[in-house]
Structures are given as C-alpha cells and as structure tokens.
Amino acid sequence: MVYPWHLYTFAFIFIVSGSLHFMKSKMYMRIMPRYLPNHKLLVHISGLVEIILGITICIPVLKNLTIYGIIAMLTVFLLVHFYMLSGKKASIGIPKWILILRIPLQFFLIYWTYSLLQY
C-alpha cells in the first residue's frame, strides 16, 4: 500500500530520533527525570521503541495499532518536557522559551499522529 508522503516523513523522523538515542545516549540521559531508574537502559529502550514504531507505521496491518502506540509514547514523553522546565540543570542549557514551545509542539505531534488513522 502506498501512503501519503507525510506518513513516510513521520516514520523517518521516528527512526532517526530513535537512532539518536543510541548515538547520543549521554544527552538523552541528562534530560531523564531523576526519579526514574536506570537512565541508560530507559534511553536505549525508548530509542528501540521509536525505531520499531517508525518501521511498523508503514506496515498496513500494524499501522493503526502503531499510531496508538506512538500517541502513548508521545504522551509519556511530555513528562520529560515538563521535567526540563523544572530547573537549570534539567534544562541542559536550552533557553526556557524553547522548552515552553516544545510542549505545544508535542500536542501537535500527537494530533498529527492521530490524523494518520485516516489513511
């Protein structure tokens, strides 16, 4: 089945983002909330899940289930965005205005994901 270009773009973004969890693990570990255990393992698991979701969204029989998985993952990742607003160390030097803009961006990504159900 041929999907619209933006579904493939979405898949590509998730595959690249998931790959970065392995290539830039230290960066991702620095933004993990302190109350979560074993940051390196969680970073690698989340990266692997992103890669798998990026691939399976292109498989017709798995697409709708994958979309709900992505929505769940994006919702959980909101915790990281709010955590990064909690202090200077958690923000890793990113300006506060950018961190604030990431929150509506996350909701846009959730909406975009949901809109892919129509294909």
Closest alpha carbon to 32 in 80, 68, 95, 71: 80
Please give the residue range of the domain that contains residue 59. Answer: 5-118
Rounded Cα distance between 91 and 42, Å, is: 19
Each of the 119 residues of the chain gets a pLDDT tens digit; together they read: 678 888 999 899 999 999 999 999 999 998 998 889 999 999 999 999 999 999 999 999 999 999 999 999 999 999 999 999 998 888 989 999 999 999 999 999 999 999 998 88
Give residue 90's pLDDT: 87
CA distances from 83 to 11, 56, 90 (A): 26, 29, 7
Structurally, the chain folds into a number of domains equal to 1
**DSSP secondary structure, 8-54, as one string:** HHHHHHHHHHHHHHHHTHHHHHHTS-TTSS-HHHHHHHHHHHHHHHH
